[in-house]
Homo-oligomer: A and B are copies of this chain.
């Protein structure tokens, strides 16, 4: 399992890296936007990554789930926080967020 999700994360990085090279005039400001939006401020960086992770589940974007889950983990997010972010997504997304929440929990095992 671990291998599968870590490989998925690596593939995302590779694809986004290639896109960055192809469209630097758009990806450079996007990367600044992302940095600014996820930097610690009134809300800390961990909370913001959990927020992006929760949005990812609600909108059913599997690559986004892996990307922001990995970022949340690297900010020290714990299992309980992750499960609670999944729960908020379910409140906002119903059944589809249950199945994507299940995928997110599986990714948590894979990335830990």
User: Which A residues are within 8 Å of any B CB, using their own CB?
Assistant: 12, 15-16, 18-19, 22-23, 25-27, 29-30, 32-34, 36-39, 41-43, 47-48, 50-52, 54-56, 58-61, 63-64, 67, 78-81, 83-103, 105-106
Q: Are B15 and A103 interface neighbours, CB within 8 A?
A: yes
> Copy number in this complex?
6
Contact A88 B41 (CB under 8 A): no
From the candidates B55, B83, B101, name the one contacting A92 in the complex (CB within 8 A). Answer: B55
Query: Cα distance A84–B80 when bound, in Å?
Result: 23
The docked-state distance in angstroms from the alpha carbon of A79 to that of B18 is 13
15 additional A-B pairs beyond A27-B98, A51-B51, A67-B99, beta carbons within 8 Å, are A18-B102, A23-B84, A23-B86, A23-B87, A26-B91, A29-B30, A29-B32, A33-B91, A43-B81, A48-B84, A50-B51, A52-B95, A55-B58, A55-B88, A92-B94
